[in-house]
Amino acid sequence: MTRPRVGVLAMQGAFREHIAALARLGADAVPLRDAAELDRLDGVVLPGGESTTMDKLLRKFGLQQPLAERIRGGLPVMATCAGVILLADEVRDGPPDQESLHLLQLKVRRNAYGRQPESFEADVDLSVLDAPFRGIFIRAPVIEEVGEGLDVLAEIEGAPVVVGDTQRLALTFHPELTGDDRIHRYFLEEMVVRATSQAGVAHVATEGGQDAETREAAG
């Protein structure tokens, strides 16, 4: 099987660490800076960083709408920290001109845990992992409301810190900074590879149906 190709938004933030984690797991991990690259991807990661800066750069380089269209069309996505803010439907405590992609029915509050000095670590019990994951929270957002169709996969003190569905995974912490690749593995195996396999089966089925129609017409 061809290695899954995953793009990591590489305009600002902790994209190098995501690329390294995905590469360790055998993925073809590449920096994403150009909309032309989107059609070649099997999945995408939106890293942590400064959400307002990433928002402005997405718009400046013409990547905002093409990225939103590909994710809306089924491209698997994993978002961490600031990446969750980019995906959210509503951003609270952001500057007036900040935009989001409106791709997750979430209401999030920026920097809700405080500034850099208030960063912390905590064990996160994810329902999809067999043991706790040590989460690193740096200027993390808080998910205040979760819409229909999304599962809460982990909480800390009653606040969701991991939510998702079969295509989208959103985490308010930084798994790429831990050296523990289990969350990236879950994203690759349960979302990216599965979506690629299903797309391949659908393509074969479509071709098979067309061949049958062709044979019937010829007969």
Give the per-residue pLDDT at 199: 73
Give the per-residue pLDDT at 210: 54
Q: Are 139 and 116 in contact (CB under 8 A)?
A: yes
User: In terms of Cα–Cα distance, which of 49, 125, 127 is closest to 85?
Assistant: 49
Q: Could you tell me which residues come within 8 angstroms of residue 161 by beta carbon, excluding any fewer than 6 positions away?
A: 124, 135, 143, 154, 155, 171, 172, 173
Q: How far does Cα 33 stand from its chain's mean position? A: 16
Catalytic residue IDs: 81, 174, 176
Q: Are 7 and 32 in contact (CB under 8 A)?
A: yes
Six-digit token string for 191: 């979302």
Long-range contacts of 199-206 (CB under 8 A, 24+ apart): none
- How far, in Å, CA of 98 to CA of 13, rounded? 17
pLDDT digits (tens, 9 = 90+) for 20-39: 999 999 999 999 999 999 99
pLDDT digits (tens, 9 = 90+) for 70-97: 999 999 999 999 999 999 999 998 899 9
Q: Looking at 42-56, 83-97, 103-117, which range is the least confident one? A: 103-117
Strands 151-156 and 159-164: antiparallel
- How far, in Å, CA of 190 to CA of 168, rounded? 11
- How far, in Å, CA of 141 to CA of 158, rounded? 14
- How far, in Å, CA of 27 to CA of 74, rounded? 19
Strands 142-146 and 104-109: antiparallel
Confidence band (pLDDT; 50, 70, 90) for 197?
confident
